Amino acid sequence: MAGILKSQHVRNYLRDPSALIGSIVLLIFFFCAIFAPLIAPMDPYDLVSVDLGNFLLPPAWMDGSLPAFPLGTDDQGRGILSTIIYGLRTSLIVGFSVVAISSVIGIVMGMLAAYYGGVLDALVMRLADTVFAFSTTLLAVLLLGVFETRGVVTVIFAICIADWVKYARTIRGSVLEIKDNAYVVAARSSGAGDFRILFRHILPNALPPIFVVMAVDLAVVIMLEATLSFLGVGVPLTEPSIGMMIAIGKNYIYAGMWWLTLFPGATLILLVVAINLFSDWLRDELNPKLARQT
């Protein structure tokens, strides 16, 4: 433990208020998402606990509110606070799943393309260029329109198809710089196989830029999931989504029901900002030259 606390990275982290604030906010959101059934005042998707008589109740500090719904209710009688907490689960599940799957696919494809070069490199990069030519949002909308079923898994799959490119491009550039270094040449001369060279010598030294991409991409994916749900092509109505909450709430903005969009929107913004604060610290920590230039 003492060794960890003496680490330069940890000391820099503890001295960075932005990284600390972002991490604290993220931990709070993670805790709420993991323990949603224990924290949320109600299960907003349990038909037994939802009462349509609680239709569009205002927040607790306004007239006509109920103490059981501190942030008010939506047009189905569901508590806004409870729906946000359950919606965080969807946002984080989609975000981390897409980042994990896309990074593995992109790292493997980009690393093999850079290491072997030739036809394989040309094919992978042309495929990446083709996918990259389309907007990620539009491509995800197109794919979700093709799929017959809707759900969290479908959304994850659709986003992954368009999201692996950034990882492939990043790892390819790193591998091209590393593969001719002395320690790689020495490993090859000693008879080490390609698998050992790639995953024992090259990959660990090529990963730092990927960590930064993953941190930034997490916020992008969470926003993309909310966008898809807002457009009505993301998760179905039977599953919680902050983007869908905002989409429902926009229909009542001019009726004065501002809490339907304000609280979900503020939660989404706070989550994305917290991730970006942490990713900024990670970027500077893994790239000291960039930190000195800013």
Amino acid at 25: V
What pLDDT is recorded for position 291?
44
Q: Are 220 and 166 in contact (CB under 8 A)?
A: no
Q: Is the pLDDT of residue 2 over 70?
A: no
Average of per-residue pLDDT across 180-206: 82
Does any domain span residue 186? yes
Q: Is the pLDDT of residue 129 over 50?
A: yes
What pLDDT is recorded for position 63?
84
What is the SS3 assignment for 56?
coil
What is the SS3 assignment for 148?
coil
Query: In this predicted model, what pLDDT tens digit does every residue of 242-281 receive, in sequence order?
Result: 988 898 888 888 888 898 999 999 999 999 999 999 888 8
- Looking at the chain, the whole-number percentage of residues with pLDDT higher than 70 is 94
What is the SS3 assignment for 176?
helix
Q: Is the pLDDT of residue 15 over 60?
A: yes
Q: Is the pLDDT of residue 4 over 80?
A: no
Q: Which of 32-36, 106-110, 142-146, 170-174 is predicted with the least confidence, judged by mean pLDDT?
A: 142-146
Q: Is the pLDDT of residue 139 over 90?
A: no
Q: Which of 2-16, 55-69, 171-185, 201-215 is predicted with the least confidence, judged by mean pLDDT?
A: 2-16
Q: Are 9 and 285 in contact (CB under 8 A)?
A: yes
Other residues' Cβ atoms within 10 Å of the Cβ of residue 208: 14
Q: Is the pLDDT of residue 286 over 80?
A: no
Does any domain span residue 57? no
Measured distance CA(32)–CA(115) in Å, rounded: 43
Average of per-residue pLDDT across 57-77: 86
Where in the sequence is the domain holding 126, given as residue range(s)?
A: 13-39+77-293
Query: Is 151 buried (19+), middle (13-18) or exposed (0-12) by CB count in 10 A?
Result: middle
Does any domain span residue 53? no
- Residue 40 Rama label (left phi>0; alpha psi -120 to 50; beta): beta
Give residue for tokens 């990074």.
Answer: 103
Does any domain span residue 253? yes
* DSSP designation for 251: G
Q: Is the pLDDT of residue 133 over 90?
A: no
Task: Please count the structural domains in the chain.
Answer: 1
Q: Is the pLDDT of residue 57 over 80?
A: yes
For the chain, how big is the Rg over CA atoms in Å? Answer: 23
Does any domain span residue 103? yes
Query: In this predicted model, what pLDDT tens digit does every residue of 70-122 receive, in sequence order?
Result: 998 888 888 899 999 999 999 999 999 999 999 999 999 999 999 888 899 89
Confidence band, pLDDT 50/70/90 cuts, at residue 194: confident
Measured distance CA(271)–CA(25) in Å, rounded: 7
Average of per-residue pLDDT across 38-43: 87
Q: What's the predicted TM-score (pTM) here?
A: 0.88
- What mean pLDDT is reported for the chain? 85
CATH number, residue 130: 1.10.3720.10
Confidence band, pLDDT 50/70/90 cuts, at residue 234: confident
What pLDDT is recorded for position 287?
66
Confidence band, pLDDT 50/70/90 cuts, at residue 151: confident
Does any domain span residue 67? no
Does any domain span residue 262? yes
Does any domain span residue 100? yes
